Amino acid sequence: MTPRVSRMSDGSRPVGEAKAELEMRRRPRYGRALNIALRTAHIGVTGVLCGGHVFGISPEQLQMWLFWVILTGGLLTAVEAFPHIYWLYQGRGLFVLVKLALLCLIPWLWEYRVAILAVVIVLASVGSHMPARFRYYSVLHGRMLDDHTRSPAFPKKPGF
């Protein structure tokens, strides 16, 4: 069954509907569910890893959790970047790549693991909640990508 497409009086599509259709075309049908499943697994294994380090669990037991954090983070990165690789050089992708690089350093900087994990958690929180003008800013293009525009209710502030 083909979904009904509504049109405005001038023949254009409502903005929200057009964006929703674009999002559907951009990701496979299962993309959102996969993203949620990976994100949930990633948060869970990250919590176990951080708690284990803080409470002094043996390195042998924690290395498996580090592996799972890196694997789920890498898979989540792949899902986020598909099918537009420019995600990787936007603010959101750069934050993720920095976090992944820091996690990969832990086996060699074991003495600093708790501090590194704390930095990763701060980057995750800031990266997830920073304004769109930073999340979608492309360092290669020098502008926001993904058709993110400011709402007329929130005009651009001078100096930003």
Backbone φ and ψ for 18, nearest 5 degrees, come out as -65, -40
Cβ–Cβ < 8 Å for 77, 26: no
Instruction: Please give the Cα distance from 120 to 10 (Å, whole number).
Output: 49
pLDDT tens string 10-58: 555 544 444 544 554 455 677 788 989 999 999 999 999 999 999 999 9
The least confident of 13-17, 67-71, 83-87 is 13-17
Confidence band for 96, pLDDT divided at 50, 70 and 90: confident
For residue 144, the SS3 value is: strand
Q: Kindly list the distances between the CA atom of residue 80 and the CA atoms of 22, 34, 57, in Å, as whole numbers in the listed order.
A: 15, 10, 32
Greater confidence, 87 or 109? 109
Does position 119 have pLDDT exceeding 90, yes or no?
yes
The least confident of 39-48, 112-121, 134-143 is 134-143
Instruction: Give the model's pLDDT for residue 109.
Output: 94
CA angle 121, 127, 131 (to 5 degrees): 145
Query: Which positions ≥6 away from 136 have C-beta within 8 Å?
Result: 90, 91, 92, 144, 145, 146, 148
Q: For 5-160, where are the alpha helices, taking DSSP H only?
A: 15-26, 31-54, 59-81, 91-105, 113-129, 132-135
Cβ–Cβ < 8 Å for 52, 65: yes
Q: Kindly list the distances between the CA atom of residue 17 and the CA atoms of 7, 14, 60, 85, in Å, as whole numbers in the listed order.
A: 10, 5, 51, 24
Domain segments of the chain as ranges: 27-144
Does position 1 have pLDDT exceeding 80, yes or no?
no
